[in-house]
Amino acid sequence: MNPRTLVYEVKKRSRMSSLWRFVALSAVSFCMAALYFWVYTSVLGLEPPKTLLLRKQNAEWCSKVEVMNRHLDQYDEALASLQMRDDDIYRSIFGMDEIPAEVRNAGFGGVNRYAHYDAVDPDGLLKGTVVRLDVLAKKSYVQSRSFDEVALLSKRAGDMASCIPAIPPINPDPAKYRFSSSFGYRKDPISGRTARHTGVDFAMKTGNPIYVTGDGVVESVKFEFFGYGNHVVIDHGFGYKTRYAHLKSIGVVEGMKVKRGECIGLSGNSGKSSGPHLHYEVIYKGSPVNPANYYDLTITPEEYATMVQNTADASERITMHPSHRRNGGRS
C-alpha cells in the first residue's frame, strides 16, 4: 500500500535478501534443534529414540551370544572328556602315543587373525565367541581323526592278543635255569655301582633255546663285543618291543616275521656279562617295563614244550603250502 497514492503496488525483493533470510531462518532452526537436543539429553538425561532402539537390539544380540557361550562351555567339557578317554584308555590300550597338546591346539597362537573384530567389538564378546568356535571346530576335527585311527587299529584287536609278549622267553624248567636278577635298581655285577637294570636275567648254561614271546617283526640283530653282546630286538606293534641279549647265536634276520614260541637263538655269554645268561627286556612306548608283569613262570615245561611244538608245526605248514612255495618262501 503506497501511503501517498493509496494504491497497492508489487514490491520486488532482491535475491540476496532472500538468501540471507533463508540462511537466518536455517541458523535459527539449527540452534533451536541443538538447544532441544541438549535439553533432552543433558538436562533431562534421556536418549534419542534411535539410540534406544540400537541399544535394545544390542542387548538382545549380547544375550544370544552369552547363551551360545554357555552351550560352548558344555561342548568344551564334553570334548575334554572324550580327549581324556581317548588318550588314557583307547589309545593306551592299543599302544598308541597320546596326541600332544600342541597338536590339539595347533593354529591358534601367534598371529592375531581376529584383529578386524577389534573395531566393531570393543568389549571382545563377539571376538571371544568366534575364537572359541574355531578352536572347538579344530579340536573336534583332531579328535575325529584320532577316533578313526583307533577304529582302524581296533579291527586288529584280535592280533593284539598274540602280539603282546605274554610268555617267558625260555622253557621254565627249574632244572635248566635260575632267576638271577630282577627289574629295577641293583648293584652292577661288573662295575659294582648301583644302576638301573632294565630287564630280568635268567642264568643258564650256554646253548639253551630262546623263544620269542609274542608275534612280531625282527627290528634289529646286532653282534657286539660289549654291552648287550649278540642281541635281537623284536617289534610286536601296539607299542611293544622285546630285547634278547647276550646270546651265543642268532637264528633270525632283520625284517623277518616271527611267531610266539618260535626259536630265535641260543643263550650265551656275549657282551658285558659275568656269566652265561639271558637278559630279557620288555619295552612299552619307548620305556623299559618290568617283564615279570607279562609272563607266567608257573606254566609247566610240558605245556610250554607243547606250545613251542604247535608253533613249529604251524610254521612248517605255512612253508609247505603251495602258494608259499610259488611266492619263493615269502609269507
| Same domain flag for 191 and 230 | yes
| Same domain flag for 266 and 227 | yes
d(CA 77, CA 89): 18
Range of the domain at 276: 164-302
Evaluate whether residue 207 is within a structural domain: yes
| Same domain flag for 189 and 283 | yes
Domain count, the chain: 3
| Same domain flag for 119 and 182 | no
Query: So what's the pLDDT on residue 46?
Result: 62
- 3-class SS of residue 234: strand
d(CA 288, CA 283): 4
Sign of the alpha-carbon dihedral angle for 39, 40, 46, 52: negative
Evaluate whether residue 70 is within a structural domain: yes
| Same domain flag for 295 and 170 | yes
Evaluate whether residue 329 is within a structural domain: no
Evaluate whether residue 196 is within a structural domain: yes
Supply the DSSP symbol for 275.
S
Say which residues have a Cβ less than 8 Å from residue 65's Cβ, sequence separation at least 6.
125, 126, 129
By the 10 Å C-beta count (0-12 exposed, 13-18 middle, 19+ buried), 122 is classed as exposed
Neighbours of 169 (CB within 10 A): 25
| Same domain flag for 212 and 232 | yes
Evaluate whether residue 319 is within a structural domain: no
Evaluate whether residue 269 is within a structural domain: yes
| Same domain flag for 170 and 267 | yes
Query: So what's the pLDDT on residue 29?
Result: 87
- Read off the pTM: 0.61
Evaluate whether residue 79 is within a structural domain: yes
Q: What is the pLDDT along the chain (331 residues), one digit of tens a residue?
A: 788 888 888 777 777 777 888 888 888 888 888 877 777 667 666 666 777 788 788 888 888 889 999 999 999 898 988 888 888 877 877 777 788 888 887 665 555 777 777 777 777 788 888 888 888 888 898 999 998 888 887 777 777 888 989 999 999 999 999 999 999 988 877 777 888 889 999 999 999 999 999 999 999 999 999 999 999 999 998 889 999 999 999 999 999 999 999 999 999 999 988 899 999 999 998 999 999 999 988 889 999 999 999 888 887 766 655 544 444 443 3
Query: So what's the pLDDT on residue 258?
Result: 95
- Listed residues 128, 155, 182: the one ending a domain: 155
Rg (CA), the chain: 42
Evaluate whether residue 217 is within a structural domain: yes
Q: 275, 225, 269: which is closest to 249 by C-alpha?
A: 269
Q: Using the structure block, give the residue that is written with the C-alpha cell 611244538.
A: 309
| Same domain flag for 145 and 173 | no
d(CA 167, CA 54): 75
Phi, psi of 288 (to 5 degrees): -65, 140
| Same domain flag for 202 and 174 | yes
d(CA 161, CA 315): 19
Supply the DSSP symbol for 117.
G
| Same domain flag for 202 and 257 | yes
| Same domain flag for 139 and 168 | no
* Residues 69 and 132 sit within 8 Å (Cβ to Cβ): yes
Q: 31, 233, 286, 263: which is closest to 167 by C-alpha?
A: 263
d(CA 266, CA 80): 50
